[in-house]
Structure 1
Amino acid sequence: MNATILLLGVLFSSIGFGYFLYGKKQQKSVPLICGIALIIYPYFIENISIMLALGLILCVIPKFIRL
């Protein structure tokens, strides 16, 4: 296990937790789903570039999609 992967996982999981709490409190589905995805996906991705790209995409989705 690489330290970079571990730190990126912690970073994106904490952002995901914030999105999850916001989506749950405001009853918004897009931040809720993106938050859950951000919390879960670092467990399955081991490539740094894919992890970084997917994490950034999932972080930006709630800013562009408003439901």
Structure 2
Amino acid sequence: MNTSTLWWGLLFGSIGLGYFIYGRKQREIVPLVCGIALMAFPYFVSGAAWLIVVGVVLMVIPRFVRL
């Protein structure tokens, strides 16, 4: 782990917390699940490039998927 992966993980984890709180308060499943995934995936992804790609994909999913 290097500094960039730590910072990207912190950024995506913070955004994930926001998605999680929003999904829980609005009772919407997609932002809730994406928030949990955004908080958890930095532990399993190594490398800054993959971290950014997966994080951006998880951030845009609630924008296009409505259940």
Give the TM-score normalised by the residue count of structure 1: 0.97
Segments ≥4 residues shifted beyond 4 Å: none
RMSD, aligned α-carbons: 0.6
Q: Which whole-Å deviations, capped at 9, do the CAs of 1:5-28 have from their partners, x for residues lacking one?
A: 000000000000000000000000
Q: Distance in 2 between matches of 1:47 and 1:3?
A: 11
Per the TM alignment, residue 48 of structure 1 is displaced from its structure 2 partner at its CA by 1.1
2 CA distance for matches of 1:8 and 1:21? 20
User: What is the one-letter code of the residue matched to 1:33?
Assistant: V
Question: 1:63 matched to which residue of 2?
Answer: 63
Aligned residue pairs: how many?
A: 67
Alignment of 1:8 with 2:14, yes or no, is: no
Shift of 1:47: 1.4
Written as runs of structure 1 = structure 2, the 5 A alignment for 1:29-48 is 29-48=29-48
* Structure 2: distance between partners of 1:29 and 1:41: 18
Unaligned runs of 5+ in 2: none
How many percent identity over aligned positions?
52
